[in-house]
């Protein structure tokens, strides 16, 4: 039997009919804050409001629903960092199927709990591997051994077709309001979402520029497209944007994306954190890191989108509240507002007062002060964290720190040292 490796608009239309009474038609909203900020019209496609708080339900349900009854009875498996797992769990419960879901050990607890909630007694969760790719190896081995059906999170034409229904919704909603988009921004993890969206948009809105957005620490689609011959596997990825941190995209999604995606943007993880905080404080939107990628990319396109009409897919809202401290820290580092130093500190009364008076600016704040060790009777080695009011004050701060201790170490410039000490 020939395995289908392409996706058509007909496939997406058929998936749309299957999902009609299953998924929520999520809002397409004009965002006044972002529109004013970027001097254009910015619409948000709110997949963070989907039943499982991400677009992944679309692909999961579509891929599972086309299985034969005999295949369904053998059960289903998947590997996922969280959102695809929730879609599979929701579907397993809805169709009363047995599902074994493999998730990386590093998956936020919030997503694990949601999988168990949506799947109830139909789902078994197995935590294994530090990354999605390691988790995937275990899932595939288990699937083969137990003769079950693996539901690929992106490299499956039925998964891609399901994700593509999101694009059909966007086009129908925008046409009803008389809106035509100049740009569409969408996150890329394994490539399922961008493949489905771009397939439909190239057919029904060919003038819309499709912009794929990846985290800078895991831009496997961009690196593969640059090579333009084969899908490459990244040796190392930053796992922070867990919903889009994939070392290797799908062969099917790569073939679709390289023909349909007009440009790729790599967004620093710190910029993603700033966007998450901005969306929460200004728009009351709780976006997960992958869900904020599309909005974060607007800064890279600020000049090009001026006066244009833009849509960003907010792909997910499964953010673990326990990560907010890390998100704030990464944001402050990216914005150059928080700085760490290792200093030799005098061991005498009044030394800290002297540091505050002579080194800190009038609006600077000490956020961390920790002795590493007492170097001698006269000095001690200290980690000190300083938060600025304005990032432009950094040059003056460094000059004053150098005067206080010429042998100081600026930790921000050393990622390994930062990860060990902070």
The string of pLDDT tens digits covering residues 271-308 is 999 999 999 999 999 999 999 999 999 999 999 999 99
Q: Which CATH number is associated with domain 75-146?
A: 3.40.50.1100
Q: How many CA atoms lie within 13 A of 415 on its CB side?
A: 3
Please, which residues have CB within 8 angstroms of residue 403's CB and are 6 or more apart in sequence?
358, 359
Residue 233: the pLDDT is: 93
Residue 120: the pLDDT is: 95
Angle of helix 192-204 relative to helix 9-19, nearest 10 degrees, comes to 110
CB 24 within 8 A of CB 50: yes
> Kind and range of the H or E element at 264?
strand 263-267
Domain boundaries, the chain: 7-53+155-325, 75-146, 336-418
Collapsing DSSP to helix, strand or coil, 74 comes out as helix
- Residue 110 pLDDT > 90, yes or no? no
Backbone dihedral angles phi then psi of residue 365, each to the nearest 5 degrees: -140, 140
Q: At CA 131, angle to CA 271 and CA 296, rounded to 5?
A: 15
N-to-C CA span, the chain: 55
Residue 85: the pLDDT is: 96
- Residue 2 pLDDT > 60, yes or no? no
The string of pLDDT tens digits covering residues 142-167 is 999 999 999 999 999 999 999 999 99
Q: How far apart are CA 273 and CA 292, in angstroms?
A: 8
Q: Which CATH number is associated with domain 7-53+155-325?
A: 3.40.50.1100
Q: How far apart are CA 94 and CA 396, in angstroms?
A: 61
> Kind and range of the H or E element at 214?
strand 209-215
Strand pairing category for 338-346 and 76-79 = unpaired
- Residue 355 pLDDT > 80, yes or no? yes
Give the chain's mean pLDDT.
94
- Residue 373 pLDDT > 80, yes or no? no
Collapsing DSSP to helix, strand or coil, 140 comes out as helix
- Residue 1 pLDDT > 50, yes or no? no
Residue 399: the pLDDT is: 96
0.85 surpassed by pTM: yes
Q: How far apart are CA 269 and CA 215, in angstroms?
A: 6
The string of pLDDT tens digits covering residues 56-68 is 999 999 999 999 9
The string of pLDDT tens digits covering residues 220-235 is 999 999 998 789 999 9
Residue 3: the pLDDT is: 62
- Residue 36 pLDDT > 50, yes or no? yes
Mean pLDDT on 243-261: 94
Model confidence at 242, pLDDT cuts 50, 70, 90, reads confident
Same fold, 7-53+155-325 and 75-146: yes
Q: Which CATH number is associated with domain 336-418?
A: 3.30.70.260
Q: How far apart are CA 172 and CA 246, in angstroms?
A: 31
User: DSSP letters of 319-373?
Assistant: --GGGHHHHHHHHHHHTT-EEEEEEEEE-STTHHHHHHHHTS-TT-EEEEEEEEE
Please, which residues have CB within 8 angstroms of residue 419's CB and are 6 or more apart in sequence?
none
% the chain with pLDDT above 70: 99
- Residue 239 pLDDT > 70, yes or no? yes
Distance of CA 48 to CAs 29, 51, 286, Å? 12, 9, 8
Q: How far apart are CA 48 and CA 316, in angstroms?
A: 4
């Amino acid at each position: 039997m020939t395995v289908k490796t392409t996706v058509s608009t007909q496939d997406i239309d058929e998936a749309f009919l299957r999902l009609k009474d299953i998924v929520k038609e999520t809002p397409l909203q004009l965002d006044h804050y972002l529109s004013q900020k970027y001097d254009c019209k910015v619409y948000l496609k709110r997949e963070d409001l989907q039943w499982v708080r991400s677009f992944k339900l679309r692909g999961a349900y579509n891929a599972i629903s086309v299985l034969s009854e005999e295949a369904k009875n053998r059960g289903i498996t998947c590997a996922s960092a969280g959102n695809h797992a929730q879609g599979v769990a929701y579907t397993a419960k809805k169709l009363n199927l047995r599902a074994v879901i493999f998730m990386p050990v590093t998956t936020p607890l919030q997503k694990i709990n949601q999988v168990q909630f949506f799947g109830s007694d139909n789902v078994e969760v197995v935590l294994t591997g530090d990354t999605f790719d390691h988790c995937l190896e275990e899932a595939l081995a288990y699937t083969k051994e137990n003769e079950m059906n693996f539901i690929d999170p992106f490299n499956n034409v039925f998964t891609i077709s399901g994700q593509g229904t999101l694009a059909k919704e966007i086009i129908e909603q925008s046409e009803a309001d008389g809106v035509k988009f100049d740009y569409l921004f969408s996150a890329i993890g394994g490539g399922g979402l961008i493949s489905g969206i771009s397939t439909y948009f190239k057919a029904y809105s060919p003038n819309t520029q499709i912009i794929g957005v990846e985290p800078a620490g895991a831009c496997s689609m961009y690196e593969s497209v640059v090579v333009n011959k084969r899908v490459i596997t990244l040796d190392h990825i930053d796992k922070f944007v867990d919903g889009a941190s994939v070392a290797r995209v799908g062969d099917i999604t790569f073939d679709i994306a390289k023909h349909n995606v007009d440009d790729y943007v790599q967004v620093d993880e710190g910029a993603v954190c700033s966007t998450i905080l901005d969306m929460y404080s200004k728009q009351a939107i709780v976006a997960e890191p992958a869900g904020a990628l599309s909005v974060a990319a607007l800064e890279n396109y600020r000049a090009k989108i001026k006066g244009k009409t833009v849509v960003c897919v907010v792909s997910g809202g499964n953010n673990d509240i326990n990560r907010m401290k890390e998100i704030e820290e990464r944001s402050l580092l990216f914005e150059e507002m928080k700085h760490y130093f290792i200093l030799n500190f005098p061991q005498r009364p009044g030394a800290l007062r002297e540091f505050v008076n002579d080194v800190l600016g009038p609006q600077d704040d000490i956020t961390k002060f920790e002795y590493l060790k007492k170097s001698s009777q006269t000095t001690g080695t200290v980690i000190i964290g300083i938060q600025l009011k304005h990032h432009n004050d950094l040059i003056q701060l460094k000059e004053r720190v150098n005067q206080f201790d010429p042998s100081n170490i600026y930790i921000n410039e050393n990622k390994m040292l930062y990860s060990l000490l902070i």
